[in-house]
Amino acid sequence: MKIIYFSWVRERIGINHEIINLPKDINNIEKLLDFLSHKGSGYKDALSNKKVLKFSVNFEFVDITHKIKNDDEIAIFPPVTGG
């Protein structure tokens, strides 16, 4: 699974993307956030406030309960500020 980070999520985690093998018991975005938060303090800092974060799977906005698979491209980011 490819995971991409943007804006202050990217800054706090310290990388712009990574490839992981999705553990079998991680089947939605919320569980993925909990899994990633254990990877280090930067992850925890970036991902702890779940209510603020936005997500996309394969370039479509999804909510935190969305089901995920190992071949998905996930992006995690703050609310957008386009325009």
Partner 1 sequence: MVVKVQKEDFDIADELKLLNLKKNNSGGCVIFIGKVREKNNDLIIKSLEIEHYPIMTEKQLETIELEALNKWPINSSLIIHRYGKLFPGDNIVLVMTSSAHRKTSFKATEFIVEKLKTKATFWKLEETLNKKYWLKPEKN
Tell me 50's DSSP state.
Answer: T
Chain mean position to CA 26 = 12
Burial (Cβ within 10 Å: 0-12, 13-18, ≥19) of residue 3: buried
With binding defined as CB under 8 A, does residue 51 bind partner 1?
no
49 binds partner 1 (CB under 8 A): no
x/- string (CB under 8 A) for partner 1, residues 16-35? --------------------
Among 4, 20, 53, 64, binds partner 1 (CB under 8 A): 4
Q: List beta partners, residue 57.
A: 60, 74
Residues at the contact surface with partner 1, assessed by CB under 8 A: 4, 6-8, 56, 59-61, 75, 77-83
